[in-house]
A and B are shown apart, each in its own frame.
Chain A
Amino acid sequence: MKKRLATMAVAAVMAAGPVMADLVFPSLSYRTGAYAAGGIPFADGYADYFTLLNERDGGIGGVMTKVPECETAYNTEKGVECYESLKDSGGLVYQPLSTGITYQLIPKMTADDIPLHTMGYGRTSAANGKVFSHVFNYPANYWNGASVIVNHLLEQNGGDMKGKKVALVYHNSAFGKEPIRTLEELSAKHGYELSLLPVDHPGQEQKSQWLQIRRDKPDYVIMYGWGVMNQVAIQEAANIRFPMENFIGIWWSGAEHDVMPAGEAANGYKAVTFHAVGDDFPVFDDIRKYVVDKGLAAGAGDQVGKVVYNRGLYAAMLAAEAAKKAQEIHGTAQITPSMMRDGMEALEITEERMAELGMPNFGPSFSVSCENHGGDGLGAITQWDAAAGEWKMISEFGPSDMDVIQPLIIEDSEAFAAESNIEQRCN
C-alpha cells in the first residue's frame, strides 16, 4: 500500500511538471488620502498592463505576472513599511511614486540588490549609474522637464529669452525645489530673469504668490506642483487673468484632475510630459478587449486613457520590457530582482519596438547603460483643451539641454558618493 502511494505521488509530481513562480511587480499605490486623485489612475494603468500581458500573451516569456498592491497613502513611513512587507514576495522592481519614499528606499534596496524605478520623480542625480547602481529614472527626470519647458519658451521667442521674466511657483519640498538649480543655470545661459515663489504644503492658500505674480507681471510661469496646489494655482492664475498659454507645469501638474475644477478658465494651460496623452493607440483596444470588457480592470475601470493612467501603463510597459531583456541576458524566464536590474541597465526602447507593442510614439526612444540610468531625457509639451475636455500633444518629443544638466547630475551624485563612501562602477 505504502509503495503504491509513493509511486502515485511521484507520478503526480512528474505529471505536473516544473512549477513556475509568477513574476512579481509590486505596486506601492495610494488610492486613499489627499493625493488619491493622482495615485488611482497610475495604479490602475500599472496593473492593467500586466493583466493585459497575462490575458493576451500568457505573461512575460511564458511566466505569468502578479501585481500585489500596498497602500502607502503617499506617506513615506507607510511606503517603507510596504516595501518591507512585500520584499519577501520576490518583487522584481519597485516604483514608489513618491520622492519621499524614494529617498528612504535608495540605500535599503541597493543593499537588498533590488532595483528601484522612479520615472519622472525621485532623486534626479540617480541618473548617474556609476553611483546609483540600483536606481533608474529613465526616460526623463525633473531637470530634463525644466529644460524641455525652457526649450519650448525659447522656441516661442525665436530662440531669444533675453529680458524675459520667468516665475517658478513650486511646492516647498524636496520635489518642488528640484528644478531651481537647473532653471538658474539655464537663466544664466539664455538671459531670462528667474523669480522663485514657494508654496507651502498643501497649497490651498496661494493668494500671496499670485498677487506677487500680478504685480511682477512675469512673461511665463512654470509650476512644480502636486495635489491640491495644482488646482488652486490654475484657478488663481485664471482669477488674475494670467494668460494660460504662458503657464506651464511639470508632468505632475498636468492631468485632467488638475484642470477640471477651474473649468473653461483652464483652457490653454500647458504641461511637459515624457509620454503621450489620449487613448488613440492600438494598445488601448487590447486593454479594452482583454482587460476592461472581461471585468478584469483594476479599480473602477474608469481611468483608461487619462494622463496619469497612461503614465502607469507606460511604467508597466518599461518594466515588462526590462524583464524580457533580463530573461534574454540570463537565459531563463524565471528571473530574480538582481537579473531584473541587469535587464533595466541594458534596456533599449526603439520606435519599432513601441509600434510592435501597439504604442507607436507613445514615448521617446531611449537606451540605458551602466553609466546612464536616466535615458535620453526627452520631453514634449501638452496643452489642455477645455472645450474638448482633453489634453493634446502640441510638440514632438524633443531633447533637453544635457550640456547644462549632465554636469549637475555628476556634481550631485559624486557628492553623494563621497559622503556615502560609494565606489563608482562602470570603469
Chain B
Amino acid sequence: MPEQLVYAMEVFLNGLMAGVLYALVALGFVLIYKASGIFNYAQGVMALFAALTLVGVMEGQVPFSHLINAIFGTDIHHFGWHLPAIVGIVVTILVMIGLAWMVQKFVFKHLVGQEPIILFMATIGLAYFLEGVGDIMWGSDIKKLDVGLPQGINTWIDESTFKVFDYGFFIDNLDIFATLIAAILVIGLVIFSQYSKQGRAMRAVADDHQAALSVGINLNFIWVMVWSLAGFVALVAGIMWGTKSGVQFSLSLIALKALPVLMLGGFTSIPGAIVGGLIIGVGEKLFEFAIGPMVGGATENWFAYVLALIFLVFRPQGLFGEKIIERV
C-alpha cells in the first residue's frame, strides 16, 4: 500500500477522535438550544468553570482564598485533603446543578418572552461573569488535572497496524476513552429524551413553551434540568480537554471548535452534534494533511468553517437540524 495512503488512514482515524472531542463541546450547546432556543455563548466557560471546580475540590483548594486572605488578613489556601476523582466529579456535578438553578433563577426567569438576541446577550454576560468568578474562586494559574484517564500512544493499535502496514498508527488512549464516554453520553441523552417523563417534557418545552405550560409542565424545572445537563456535558468536555492541556482559562476557547460542528450538524440534534463533529474532525485533518503543506499549513481553524459553510449552502438548517417553514 502506498505510504501516503497509510498515513492518510492514520490521519483519518485521528480526525475521527478529534471530532468526538469537538462534539463533546457541541453537545452542551445543542441541549440548551433544543430546550430553550438559547444559543449559550457561555458553554465554553462552563466547561472551564466545571474543570476548575473539579481540580479545586480534588486538591482541597479553598475557594475565594485570595479574597478571604486579602479581606481578613488570613493565610489559608488549602483544606489539606486530596479527594478521589469520583468524589470530585460528584461534588462538581452538584455545583453545576446549583449553577443551573442560579442561572435560571437570577437571569433567564426574568427574560421569558424576550427576543432570542436578548437571551444570547445574556449568555455573553454570563460567560464573562462566570470567567471572573472562576478566577476569583480558584485562581488563574494552570492546574494539572489527573482523574486517572490513560494518556499516550495505544501500543496495541501501534503494534497491530505495524504488522499490517509496516507503520504503526498513533492513536491517543485519551481520545479512545473520550470516544467511549461520548458514545455513552449520546446514548444516555437520546434514551433520556425519548423515553423518560422529564425527557419528553423537555422535548415538549422545546416544541412550544406555551403549549407545554398549558399541559402542566413546569418550565422552570425543565430549564434548570437542561442547564444542569449542559453543565454535566461541560464537565465531561472540561475533563477531556483539561487532561490534555491542564486546566487553564484558554479552555473556554474550545467553544470555537464547536461552532462549525453546530453549523454543520444542526443546533437541535444530539446525533447531529456527533456526526457534525466527526465530519469536521476528519475533514480538517485530511485537508491539513493533503493541502496544508502546499499553502503553509495551519489550515484547520479556517477550513472547519469553510466545510460547515459548504454544507450550509445545501442544507441551511444543518445536516440534522429542524427545517423551519414559516407561512405568510
A binding-site residues for B, Cβ under 8 Å: 31-37, 40, 172, 196-202, 204-205, 207-209, 211, 214-215, 227-228, 231-232, 235, 238-241, 257, 260-261, 263, 265, 300
Any A CB within 8 A of the CB of B191:
no
* B245 adjacent to A232 (CB under 8 Å): yes
- Stretch from B91-99, B210-218, B288-296 contacting the other chain: B288-296
Cross-chain contact of B298 among A172, A202, A207, A231 (Cβ < 8 A): A172
Query: How many Å lie between the Cα of A140 and that of B7 in the bound state?
Result: 41
Given known contacts A232-B244, A257-B141, what 17 new A-B pairs fall within 8 Å (CB)?
Answer: A34-B248, A36-B141, A36-B249, A202-B250, A205-B18, A208-B11, A208-B285, A215-B7, A228-B250, A231-B142, A232-B245, A235-B151, A239-B153, A261-B145, A261-B245, A300-B69, A300-B139
* A238 adjacent to B152 (CB under 8 Å): yes
Name the B residues within 8 Å of A265 (CB-CB).
152
B binding-site residues for A, Cβ under 8 Å: 7, 10-11, 14, 17-18, 66, 69, 132, 135, 139-146, 151-153, 170, 172, 241, 244-246, 248-254, 257, 285, 288-289, 292, 296-298, 300-301
Q: Tell me how far the C-beta of A68 lies from the nearest C-beta in chain B, rounded to whole angstroms.
A: 19
Q: Tell me how far the C-beta of B149 lies from the nearest C-beta in chain A, rounded to whole angstroms.
A: 12
* A196 adjacent to B246 (CB under 8 Å): no
* B140 adjacent to A31 (CB under 8 Å): yes
Name the B residues within 8 Å of A204 (CB-CB).
241, 244-245, 250-251, 253-254, 257
Name the A residues within 8 Å of B301 (CB-CB).
200-201
Cross-chain contact of A208 among B153, B254, B292 (Cβ < 8 A): B292
* B297 adjacent to A197 (CB under 8 Å): yes
Name the A residues within 8 Å of B66 (CB-CB).
300
Known: A32-B135, A235-B245. A198 touches B298 (CB 8 A): yes
Closest residue of chain A to B284 (Cβ to Cβ) is A208
Most buried by B among A207, A227, A228, A260: A207
Query: How many Å lie between the Cα of A168 and that of B205 in the bound state?
Result: 52
* B253 adjacent to A257 (CB under 8 Å): no
Query: How many Å lie between the Cα of A40 and that of B146 in the bound state?
Result: 24
Most buried by A among B152, B245, B254: B245
- Could you show 25 A-B contacts with beta carbons less than 8 Å apart? A32-B135, A35-B250, A36-B141, A37-B140, A37-B142, A37-B248, A40-B140, A201-B301, A204-B250, A204-B257, A207-B18, A208-B285, A209-B297, A211-B10, A215-B7, A228-B245, A231-B248, A235-B244, A239-B152, A239-B170, A260-B144, A261-B144, A261-B145, A261-B246, A300-B66
Name the B residues within 8 Å of A33 (CB-CB).
140, 249
Closest residue of chain A to B139 (Cβ to Cβ) is A300
**Total CB contacts across the A-B interface at under 8 A:** 111
* B245 adjacent to A208 (CB under 8 Å): no
Query: How many Å lie between the Cα of A36 and that of B141 in the bound state?
Result: 7
Q: Tell me how far the C-beta of B179 lies from the nearest C-beta in chain A, rounded to whole angstroms.
A: 14
Name the B residues within 8 Å of A197 (CB-CB).
297
Query: How many Å lie between the Cα of A226 and that of B172 in the bound state?
Result: 24
Closest residue of chain B to A33 (Cβ to Cβ) is B249
* A196 adjacent to B153 (CB under 8 Å): no
Q: Tell me how far the C-beta of B273 lies from the nearest C-beta in chain A, rounded to whole angstroms.
A: 17
Name the B residues within 8 Å of A300 (CB-CB).
66, 69, 139
Query: How many Å lie between the Cα of A40 and that of B139 in the bound state?
Result: 11
Query: How many Å lie between the Cα of A202 and that of B249 in the bound state?
Result: 11
Name the A residues within 8 Å of B7 (CB-CB).
211, 215
Cross-chain contact of B170 among A31, A172, A211 (Cβ < 8 A): A211
Name the B residues within 8 Å of A207 (CB-CB).
14, 17-18, 285
Closest residue of chain B to A227 (Cβ to Cβ) is B250
* A208 adjacent to B144 (CB under 8 Å): no
Name the A residues within 8 Å of B249 (CB-CB).
32-34, 36
Closest residue of chain B to A37 (Cβ to Cβ) is B142
Q: Which 5 A-B pairs have the closest CB atoms?
A: A261-B246, A34-B250, A36-B140, A198-B298, A228-B250
Cross-chain contact of A240 among B69, B170, B245 (Cβ < 8 A): B170
Closest residue of chain B to A261 (Cβ to Cβ) is B246
Name the A residues within 8 Å of B143 (CB-CB).
261
Known: A207-B18, A228-B245. A196 touches B170 (CB 8 A): no
Query: How many Å lie between the Cα of A265 and that of B252 in the bound state?
Result: 25
Query: How many Å lie between the Cα of A1 and that of B171 in the bound state?
Result: 92
Most buried by A among B14, B246, B252, B292: B246
Name the B residues within 8 Å of A32 (CB-CB).
132, 135, 140, 249
Q: Tell me how far the C-beta of A307 lies from the nearest C-beta in chain B, rounded to whole angstroms.
A: 13
Name the B residues within 8 Å of A211 (CB-CB).
7, 10-11, 14, 170, 289
Closest residue of chain A to B73 (Cβ to Cβ) is A295
Q: Tell me how far the C-beta of A353 lies from the nearest C-beta in chain B, rounded to whole angstroms.
A: 34
Name the B residues within 8 Å of A205 (CB-CB).
18, 257, 300
Q: Tell me how far the C-beta of B5 lies from the nearest C-beta in chain A, rounded to whole angstroms.
A: 13
Q: Tell me how far the C-beta of A208 lies from the nearest C-beta in chain B, rounded to whole angstroms.
A: 4
Query: How many Å lie between the Cα of A346 and that of B170 in the bound state?
Result: 55
* B289 adjacent to A228 (CB under 8 Å): no
* A231 adjacent to B245 (CB under 8 Å): yes
Closest residue of chain B to A257 (Cβ to Cβ) is B142
Query: How many Å lie between the Cα of A32 and that of B252 in the bound state?
Result: 13
Query: How many Å lie between the Cα of A198 and that of B69 in the bound state?
Result: 43
Query: How many Å lie between the Cα of A34 and that of B143 in the bound state?
Result: 13
Name the B residues within 8 Å of A238 (CB-CB).
152
Cross-chain contact of B142 among A201, A209, A261 (Cβ < 8 A): A261
Known: A37-B142, A196-B297, A208-B288. A239 touches B172 (CB 8 A): yes
Q: Tell me how far the C-beta of B275 lies from the nearest C-beta in chain A, rounded to whole angstroms.
A: 19
Name the B residues within 8 Å of A200 (CB-CB).
298, 300-301
Closest residue of chain B to A263 (Cβ to Cβ) is B144
* B142 adjacent to A260 (CB under 8 Å): yes
Name the B residues within 8 Å of A239 (CB-CB).
151-153, 170, 172
Query: How many Å lie between the Cα of A241 and that of B152 in the bound state?
Result: 8
Name the A residues within 8 Å of B300 (CB-CB).
200, 205, 208
Query: How many Å lie between the Cα of A201 and that of B152 in the bound state?
Result: 23
Name the B residues within 8 Å of A261 (CB-CB).
142-145, 245-246
Query: How many Å lie between the Cα of A198 and that of B140 in the bound state?
Result: 27
